[in-house]
Structure 1
Amino acid sequence: MPQPRPDNQAHNTARPVLLPAPRTLSPRDAPSLGWGVMGPGGIAASFVEALRRHTEQRVVAVGSRDPQRARAFADRFGIPGAHGSYADVLDDDRVDIVYVASPHSAHVDHALQAIEAGRHVLVEKAFTRNAREAEQLVRAAREQGVFLMEAMWTRFLPHIDVVRQVLETGLLGEIRTVTADHGQFMTPDATHRLFAPELAGGALLDLGIYPVSFASMVLGPFASVTAVGTKAFTGVDGQASIVVSNEAGAHGVLNTSLFARTPTTASISGTHARLEIEGDFYAPATVRLISHEGELLDSHVPARREGGLCFEAAEAARCVRAGRLESDLMPLAETLRIMHVLDGIRRDLGVSYPGE
């Protein structure tokens, strides 16, 4: 039987190799599942395109409350099933797993419907509006015995596996500081979902979750979280600066914003060396190992930069076929922990969503 192909790029052999090669397997080697899409928006389009180009996954159904929208999405991507309701997606016998790509405010309802229908579920980040809703989904999935995972796509990318291995081997020494930011300039528009309180808009759940999740992966559980921020004109969080620490005293300095395009970089500094991840750090990106003196010691350059959403789908497919109910790379306990952190940050900022 042929071995799975690693999705990586060889290092330059002209100098000593200090960074490990990613262990990430090729998404094309993952078992093929029939996917149903709930919510045919922009992220769903990127997801389906990544699956079409880089995997053997089959997108077999799409659902929307607007039948014409579902049909247009299905025609665009050659999807055989176009449904005018989310319930019809769940009734489609071709569907093995559901990708919930609706607005944050609808995640809990749509994912819960899928779980109760006995479908495996991949829920777009942020997982839910708050930790209470996240706990509801996790309980339901465990009771039903179905796979459930947050679609935090960054966790599954090859360059993040390089970071993970560096942390495992202690190459940086004792970790002292993590930085990460994600800011985008969004034209003020009360009709846009990121400015809509009823859709759980704001910078934090859509953009800020990336630096928070990254810091959680590096530092582990936070011992303290402090945040300051500025609200947008609709009352959602427009910008937040967050300082976290772990029990060992390492710090994370994180930022998110709807008001400006920031560098979107990340770094991990230790007592021996530091890692720098170019912008956009949450997408396939170059990782550099830097000495105390500022010397470039080694770098990992991604083999390709497009279609990164395919890696999370491949992980879900492998877990489902193996009979696993969650992923080791993005375990449900980690998702719940991060949702509690986000709740605390919003409390610091004085931001809540209607109906919470």
Structure 2
Amino acid sequence: MYKTINWGIIGLGNIAHKFATDLRTVKGVKLYGVASRSQEKANAFASKYNATKAYDNYEALANDPNIDAVYIATPHALHKENTLLCLENGIAVLCEKPFAMNADEVDNMIAKAKEKKVLLMEALWTYFLPHYQFVLSELKKETYGKLIKLEADFGFYRAFDNTSRVFNKSLGGGSLLDIGIYPIFAALSTLGNPKHIEAKATYFENGADSSCDMVFYYDSITKAYLKSTLLKATPGEAIFYCKKGIIKINGGFHSPSTVTITPKHGKAETIDFNYKTIGYNYEIIHFNEHLRQGKTESDIMTFEFSQQLIKTLDNVRRIINLDY
């Protein structure tokens, strides 16, 4: 038997609903408290997911002594502030990606977690999905030879609306931080840090980036071609070209998906991982295990990797002259 982990959620938008839905599938947890800037919204969310407490401010949740862990699902620009609030109160934090707006903010958050000796992890759920872990294993073993090229994209269309978090530049809106992080993650988690980056972007009238095309250079032949866009739907695939075959994560690669393997000499085979949930339960289970074991850092989504990821995003922003 182990202690039930009492979870809290700060920020009750769409992704919080997905997280709460999958939290129900995980054993040994309770959605104890939820917090919004609106009491009405908090009450409705708490009622839907059977949370014990509903707060109209984040500070009250962070000061609730019954909360063991908090999932932060607020807009990007608030991640640092909300994370520090919880860490100061000794509450473990699973903070939605991107971890924060820039490397300085991420460094600040990690330093506070280390000071307080409290578990902190960036909630980049893709890393924990079984199909992605399978692909990482195949690439590491070089089952189909050395990886020499990656193509990864993420794009969808939504009519421009400056009041929406997705487009609001002051909240970190735009394609790069919101969805471009996934193709970049695919490159860093399989090929590591690039030696050189090329990037170009298009922009909405408010200055938020509408699309971003990137090329990561690793050596004379190894490259990653990455794309994010809010102007149109794209296949959402991650295609790994190896010397002896191709491993393709079918769209959307960042979420529960299938994997098609095409050996250089052989038939294509598609592997179905039989997902039964939205997919957030895998990172929740990983986080819970670390919390119960008294660990303060994930051994998959490490601090070093989160820092590498945000630094790469910062580098791309500098190249395309995108400032927040």
Same fold at TM > 0.5 = yes
Match of 1:281 among 233, 239, 253: 253
CA distance in 2, matches of 1:35, 1:320: 12
Match of 1:166 among 121, 138, 150: 138
What code does the residue aligned with 1:171 have? T
TM-score of the two chains, using structure 2 as the length reference: 0.96
Match of 2:200 among 197, 222, 228: 228
Runs of 4+ in 1 over 4 A off after TM superposition: none
CA distance in 1, matches of 2:239, 2:266: 13
Structure 2: which 5+ residue stretches go unaligned? none
Shift of 1:307: 2.0
Residue 243 of structure 1 corresponds to 215
Match of 2:127 among 155, 174, 179: 155
Residue 295 of structure 2 corresponds to 324
CA distance in 1, matches of 2:174, 2:167: 6
Indicate if the aligned counterparts of 1:32 and 1:317 stay in contact, CA closer than 8 A.
no
Partner of 1:262: helix, strand, or coil?
Answer: coil
Q: Are 2:93 and 1:128 equivalent residues in the alignment? A: no
Q: Are 2:300 and 1:335 equivalent residues in the alignment? A: no
Q: How does 1:130-209 map to 2 (within 5 A)?
A: 130-209=102-181
Indicate if the aligned counterparts of 1:41 and 1:101 stay in contact, CA closer than 8 A.
yes
Deviation by residue 1:195-226 (Cα, 9 ceiling, x = unmatched): 11111100111111111111110101222111
Match of 1:299 among 260, 264, 270: 270
Indicate if the aligned counterparts of 1:54 and 1:307 stay in contact, CA closer than 8 A.
no
Change in Cα spacing, 1:31 to 1:161, as seen in structure 2 (3 Å) is farther
Residue 113 of structure 1 corresponds to 85
Change in Cα spacing, 1:32 to 1:246, as seen in structure 2 (3 Å) is farther
Shift of 1:54: 4.5
Q: How does 1:201-220 map to 2 (within 5 A)?
A: 201-220=173-192
Deviation by residue 1:100-134 (Cα, 9 ceiling, x = unmatched): 10000100000011111111100001110111101
Shift of 1:55: 4.2
CA distance in 2, matches of 1:100, 1:128: 11
What code does the residue aligned with 1:176 have? I
CA distance in 2, matches of 1:195, 1:160: 29
Q: How does 1:265-276 map to 2 (within 5 A)?
A: 265-276=237-248
CA distance in 1, matches of 2:211, 2:29: 37
**Structure 1 vs Structure 2: percent identity of aligned residues?**
32
Partner of 1:193: helix, strand, or coil?
Answer: coil
What code does the residue aligned with 1:196 have? N
TM-score of the two chains, using structure 1 as the length reference: 0.88
Shift of 1:243: 0.5
Report the more deviating stretch, 140-149 or 320-329: 320-329
Shift of 1:32: 4.1
CA distance in 1, matches of 2:159, 2:243: 41
Residue 74 of structure 1 corresponds to 46
CA distance in 1, matches of 2:322, 2:3: 42
Indicate if the aligned counterparts of 1:225 and 1:341 stay in contact, CA closer than 8 A.
no
Match of 1:59 among 31, 36, 43: 31
Change in Cα spacing, 1:117 to 1:247, as seen in structure 2 (3 Å) is farther
Residue 19 of structure 1 corresponds to none
Deviation by residue 1:261-298 (Cα, 9 ceiling, x = unmatched): 000011111111120111011111111211225731x4
Indicate if the aligned counterparts of 1:284 and 1:305 stay in contact, CA closer than 8 A.
no
The aligned length equals: 324
CA distance in 1, matches of 2:280, 2:185: 17
Deviation by residue 1:57-79 (Cα, 9 ceiling, x = unmatched): 21100112222221111111111
What code does the residue aligned with 1:313 have? I
Q: Are 2:309 and 1:348 equivalent residues in the alignment? A: no
